[in-house]
Every structure is written in structure tokens, then in C-alpha cells.
Amino acid sequence: MGNFIIAKIIARSVLSRFATRLYPFEKRAPYAATRGHIENEISRCIMCGICQKKCPTHAITVVRAERNWAIEPMKCIQCGECVTACPVKCLSMANTYSAASPTKETILLHQETPPPKPGAAKQEA
Ligand code: SF4
Ligand code: SF4
């Protein structure tokens, strides 16, 4: 009787689908609302520094004089505070995770030219 029960359990396990995926060969598609990592459309950033002030983990550094915006992904907890607070909405939460890294890297984005001031295009026209 005992052997029969064990055989039944083994047969059920062999014939049923895997409960897990063979990661990294088989990856689950990210959900639309997955909080993966922060992206900055740097050409639209006004270097106001609000995201730096709002970030609870001090992951963001803004150096206005040098037009540099930097983030330390390992410090980011994907809370989304910076995205909500950004006045020009150049920050977004991408739904894919950052690649694993053996080092605590900093992603530095440099802005070559500041974005045009609101209303500047209308005045030129
Ligand atoms: S998502 Fe949160 S933790 Fe990450 S950079 Fe923005 S404010 Fe900081
Ligand atoms: S809040 Fe937005 S506009 Fe201001 S520095 Fe951060 S990313 Fe740039």
C-alpha cells in the first residue's frame, strides 16, 4: 500500500508541469506595473534637485553646475518618490530589472545643453 502511494506521488510529479522556471533560460515577462529601475530622459531634466531631496535612500545625486545627474542602482528601493516629485516628468520607472553586477556602480548622465525654457518656443515663433 505504501509503495503504491509513493509511486502515485512520483508519477504525479513526473507528469505535472514544473512549478518553477529554468531561469535564466526561461524568463517571466515583466508585468506592466513592475517597478524595475529608474530612467531619466536627461535632455528634459532641469537639474532642480528635487529628486535628490525626495529620495529616502540618497541614491540620486544632482550636480547642477556640471549638469550631471547620477543614480546608484544598488541604493534604489524602487519607491517611485522621485518619479512622482519630478516637476517635468523626465523620470520614469522602467519595468525591467537592472542587470546583476559584482560592483556597486553609479550611472552618471551628463546633459550637454539645458532644455529650452517653457514658452521659449512660442516666443521664437
Ligand atoms: S525610486 Fe525611490 S529610492 Fe529609487 S531613486 Fe527614486 S526616490 Fe530614490
Ligand atoms: S526632479 Fe526631475 S528635473 Fe529635477 S533634477 Fe530630478 S530628474 Fe531632473
Helices then strands, counting H and E runs in the chain, come out as 4, 5
For 70-90, what is each residue's pLDDT tens digit? Answer: 999 999 999 999 999 999 999
At 125, the pLDDT band (50, 70, 90 cuts) reads very low
Q: Is the shortest distance between the CB of 76 and ligand 2 below 6 Å?
A: no
What nine digits make up the cell of 69? 545627474
Q: Which residue lies with its CA nearest to atom 4 of ligand 1?
A: 76
The sign of the torsion formed by the CA atoms of 40, 41, 43, 45 equals: negative
Mean pLDDT of the chain: 91
Q: Which domains does the chain have, with CATH numbers?
A: 45-96+104-114 (3.30.70.3270)
Asked whether the predicted pLDDT for residue 110 surpasses 80, the reply is yes
Of the bound ligands, which one is closest to the alpha carbon of residue 54? 1
For 14-33, what is each residue's pLDDT tens digit? Answer: 898 888 888 889 988 889 98
